[in-house]
């Protein structure tokens, strides 16, 4: 999917869409915002992009309304038309079916699913994974969109204590995830290196992606274990997730990644 080892996926955090409580921008302005961020990411040498309705707080626990799917599809088409990089779709909080529909329509390569198997307590209440539905819907659509599934996802808590390795094994073998994502406890917080090692040891051949909190200070340790990473906050002005992407921040981190690739 990616043209390199240890790919870095840059986040396109979409401002609040029309219909969301914090919506302030017209849709044309939202398109411009997303495309400017995409231009800064690609200009800095990013390896892939992921489009996410980050501004739509408070999130629906599962199914989003039709207008969200429509707006995300339109945004995905604009990004795909202008930038020739692997593209992912995440529709928060956990609408994998809508993400698959959008990804298939815009020819994206993968989706992110925060809770793919099992169940987690979140600020949206109890959310249960629906891997059975996600994969059947992918089959119905006839595409080959990959499923990147979070393990013990951020902004959530388990219902009961479980071994991390057991969750990984079930997500991949029984949930049929194509790749797994490991995060810290919240947006902008890095995963523990020991958690990454545990997941890597349990996952088999599926790629392990570090999904939050990676920056120039911890990138070497993270990429020594992980097969790739998703970066959002570290690319933003002032290190604030809702701010625009700064191309110089992207170039600085990507230079460090390329050096690590060469030395590794």
- Per-residue model confidence (pLDDT) at position 161: 85
pTM equals 0.96
Both structure tokens of 125 = 């209440």
Q: Is the pLDDT of residue 220 over 90?
A: yes
Determine contact, residues 149/177, Cβ cutoff 8 Å.
yes
**CATH number of the 8-263 domain:** 3.20.20.70
User: Computed from CA positions of residues 85, 89, 90, 96, in that sequence, does the dihedral angle turn out positive or negative?
Assistant: negative
Q: Residue for token digits 């951020």?
A: 154
List pLDDT tens digits, range 80-108.
Answer: 999 999 999 999 999 999 999 999 999 99
Percentage of the chain modeled with pLDDT above 90: 93
Closest CA relative to residue 170, chosen from 197, 151, 144, 155: 151
- Per-residue model confidence (pLDDT) at position 166: 94
Separation between Cα atoms, residue 94 and residue 115, nearest integer Å: 7
User: Computed from CA positions of residues 158, 160, 164, 168, in that sequence, does the dihedral angle turn out positive or negative?
Assistant: negative
Q: Is the pLDDT of residue 264 over 80?
A: no
List pLDDT tens digits, range 182-207.
Answer: 998 888 888 999 999 999 999 999 99
- Per-residue model confidence (pLDDT) at position 121: 95
- Domain spans, the chain: 8-263
Q: Is the pLDDT of residue 136 over 90?
A: yes
């Amino acid at each position: 999917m990616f043209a390199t080892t240890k790919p870095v996926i840059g986040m396109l955090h979409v401002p609040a869409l029309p219909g969301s409580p914090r919506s302030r921008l017209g849709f044309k302005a939202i398109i411009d915002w997303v495309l400017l961020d995409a231009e800064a990411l690609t200009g800095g040498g990013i390896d892939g992009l992921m489009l996410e309705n980050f501004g739509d707080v408070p999130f629906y626990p599962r199914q989003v309304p039709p207008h969200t799917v429509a707006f995300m599809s339109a945004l995905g088409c604009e990004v795909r038309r202008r930038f020739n990089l692997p593209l992912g779709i995440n529709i928060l909080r956990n609408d994998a079916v809508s993400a698959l529909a959008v990804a298939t329509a815009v020819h994206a390569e993968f989706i992110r699913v925060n809770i793919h198997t099992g169940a987690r307590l979140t600020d949206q209440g109890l959310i249960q994974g629906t891997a059975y539905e996600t994969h059947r819907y992918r089959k119905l659509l006839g595409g080959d969109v990959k499923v990147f599934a979070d393990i013990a996802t951020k902004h959530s808590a388990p219902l009961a204590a479980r071994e991390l390795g057991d969750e990984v094994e079930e997500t991949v073998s029984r949930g049929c995830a194509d790749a797994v994502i490991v995060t810290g406890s919240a947006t902008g917080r890095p995963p523990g290196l020991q958690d990454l090692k545990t997941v890597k040891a349990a996952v088999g051949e599926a790629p392990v992606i570090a999904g939050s909190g990676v920056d120039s200070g911890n990138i070497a340790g993270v990429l020594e274990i992980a097969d790739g990473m998703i970066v959002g906050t570290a690319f933003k002005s002032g290190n604030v997730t809702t701010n625009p992407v700064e191309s110089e921040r992207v170039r600085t981190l990507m230079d460090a990644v390329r050096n690590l690739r060469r030395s590794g």
